[in-house]
């Protein structure tokens, strides 16, 4: 999607064009021969919490990526889902998150300081996605898993490749590389079990539960793709929204206590993954509608996050919302296992920007292009002026 500068936040313009094509008079509706749509917040919560509704909506192909992704716990139900999710479900302890927050803030500051040095030397223009968002997200995942920055130098590059590739051949090539990387890491750990981070914890839990290595490796890859992609993409979208409407950025500079509610409001307005798919296993009542058994259901999280029954003035950016029960991390048994991690990363990165580059601004008249990713949508680039 390509857009030029407009008066309003371009992300709001894109969302408005998308949402304007949808009949919002009914919270649950059928779309001809396509999937059922859930457009309302209460209805989405009800469906996503219903354990008879399945997340197994994909038929895996024969390619390497298809086989790996078919083992992701986000595409599993019931005991299978819990069995795999437990490998990481309680790993994001307050102590680990506090440590990671410090690491991410420091990594972001170091890269922003380099931008300041380049600006002083006359090179003020930069793409903040490639100079900050992607490398910091990669650093965070490496630290989280216990992979050294040297060994994991290409981890972020692989994640970008997986999220951007469009052909089966490209997907499979990247999947083979990242799979081989984690096989090597697992072998190294077993030969010399001195690693820190989540990888050894997950390996021990997988062994105790009698899991196959393929399931462990798939979970590692899911953490990389989901953690890296969600953080990097949303950091770019968040910064665009704050700098486009400069008064938002200025308000955070004046009062950094508003950083956390600002992130929640931007998560609501610019939902990272606009749609999640489900399948009914039996006739299911959602709101006042009965969805038949074996029906594909698309839950439009981005639209649910603007439901006027739940959010006053839903299309407006407001920091004074008494509550903000957005669905950007989903709901129910598939509530994002890394939600707390994502919030820590985004807050650490945004605070670093406010501290180090208070005069940061968007490059005037730049075209903005978003691309579909494995988990949501992200900017191909975001050019800024550092000073």
Written as tens digits, the pLDDT of the chain (387 aa) is 333 444 566 777 767 777 778 888 899 999 888 899 999 999 999 999 999 999 987 676 677 878 888 889 999 999 999 988 888 877 888 888 999 999 999 999 999 999 999 888 888 899 999 899 988 988 888 888 888 777 666 777 777 666 665 677 877 888 888 889 889 888 888 887 666 788 888 888 888 888 889 999 999 888 888 878 788 889 999 999 999 989 999 999 999 999 999 999 999 999 888 889 999 999 999 999 999 999 999 999 999 999 999 999 998 999 988 889 999 999 999 999 989 999 999 999 999 999 999 999 998 777 787 776 555 677 888 999 987
Helix (H) or strand (E) run with residue 214 in it: helix 213-244
Return the pLDDT at 18.
77
Provide CB contacts within 8 A for 227, sequence distance 6+: 137, 140, 141, 144, 338, 341, 342
What CA–CA distance (Å, rounded) separates 127 from 240? 12
Query: What phi, psi does 371 have (nearest 5°)?
Result: -125, 150
Asked if residues 56 and 279 have their Cβ atoms less than 8 Å apart, the reply is: yes
Tokens 């191909």 belong to residue? 380
Asked if residues 9 and 374 have their Cβ atoms less than 8 Å apart, the reply is: no
Asked if residues 272 and 233 have their Cβ atoms less than 8 Å apart, the reply is: yes
Return the SS3 of 276: strand
Half-sphere exposure of 353 (CA within 13 A, CB side): 27
Return the pLDDT at 171.
76
Provide CB contacts within 8 A for 225, sequence distance 6+: 159, 162, 163, 374, 375
What CA–CA distance (Å, rounded) separates 148 from 139? 9
Options 1.10.10.10, 2.60.130.10, 1.10.630.10, 2.40.50.840; which CATH number does 2-385 get?
A: 1.10.630.10
Domain range list for the chain: 2-385
Return the pLDDT at 249.
95
- Pairing relation of β-strands 361-362 and 383-385? antiparallel
DSSP state, residue 349: H
Asked if residues 386 and 116 have their Cβ atoms less than 8 Å apart, the reply is: yes
What CA–CA distance (Å, rounded) separates 169 from 172? 5
Provide CB contacts within 8 A for 123, sequence distance 6+: none
Token couple for 280: 């009914």
pTM of the complete model: 0.90
Asked if residues 325 and 310 have their Cβ atoms less than 8 Å apart, the reply is: yes
C-alpha 2 chain-centroid distance: 21
DSSP state, residue 363: P
What CA–CA distance (Å, rounded) separates 99 from 93? 10
Provide CB contacts within 8 A for 208, sequence distance 6+: none
Asked if residues 212 and 105 have their Cβ atoms less than 8 Å apart, the reply is: no
Alpha helices for 323-378 (secondary structure H)? 339-356
Return the pLDDT at 358.
95
What CA–CA distance (Å, rounded) separates 287 from 26? 10
Other Cβ atoms within 10 Å of 313 Cβ, number: 10
Tokens 């490749």 belong to residue? 161
CA dihedral of 70, 75, 78, 82, whole degrees rounded to 10: 80
CA-to-CA separations, 337 to 51, 233, 354, in angstroms, rounded: 17, 18, 28
């Amino acid at each position: 999607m390509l857009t030029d500068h407009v008066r309003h936040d371009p992300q709001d313009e894109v969302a408005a064009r998308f949402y304007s094509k949808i009949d919002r008079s009914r919270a649950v509706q059928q779309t001809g021969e396509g999937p059922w749509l859930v457009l309302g917040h209460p209805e989405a919560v009800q469906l996503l919490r219903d354990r008879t509704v399945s997340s197994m909506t994909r038929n895996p192909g024969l390619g390497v990526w298809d086989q790996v992704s078919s083992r992701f716990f986000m595409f599993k139900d019931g005991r299978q889902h819990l069995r795999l999710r437990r490998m990481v479900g309680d790993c994001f302890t307050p102590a680990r998150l506090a440590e990671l927050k410090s690491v991410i803030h420091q990594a972001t500051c170091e890269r922003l300081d380099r931008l300041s040095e380049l600006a002083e030397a006359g090179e003020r223009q930069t793409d903040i996605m490639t100079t900050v968002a992607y490398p910091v997200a990669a650093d965070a995942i490496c630290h989280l898993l216990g992979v050294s920055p040297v060994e994991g130098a290409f981890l972020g590059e692989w994640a970008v490749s997986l999220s951007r590739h469009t052909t089966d051949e490209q997907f499979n090539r990247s999947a083979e590389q990242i799979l081989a990387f984690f096989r090597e890491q697992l072998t190294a750990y077993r030969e010399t079990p001195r690693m820190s981070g989540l990888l050894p914890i997950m390996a021990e839990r997988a062994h105790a539960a009698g899991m196959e290595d393929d399931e462990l490796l798939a979970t590692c890859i899911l953490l990389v793709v989901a953690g890296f992609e969600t953080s990097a993409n949303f950091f770019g979208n968040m910064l665009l929204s704050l700098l486009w409407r400069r008064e938002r950025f200025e308000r955070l500079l004046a009062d950094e206590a508003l950083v956390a509610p600002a992130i929640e409001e931007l998560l609501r307005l610019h939902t990272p993954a606009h749609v999640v798919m489900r399948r009914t296993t039996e006739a299911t009542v959602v709101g006042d509608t009965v969805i038949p058994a074996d029906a594909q259901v698309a839950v439009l999280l981005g639209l649910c996050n603007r439901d006027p029954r739940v959010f006053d003035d839903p299309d407006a950016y407001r920091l004074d919302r008494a509550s903000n029960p957005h669905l950007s991390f989903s709901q129910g048994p598939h509530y994002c296992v890394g939600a707390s991690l994502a919030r820590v990363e985004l807050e650490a990165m945004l605070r670093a920007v406010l501290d180090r580059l208070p005069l940061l601004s968007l490059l005037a008249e730049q075209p903005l292009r978003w691309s579909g990713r494995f988990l949501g949508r992200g900017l191909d680039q975001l050019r800024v002026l550092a000073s």
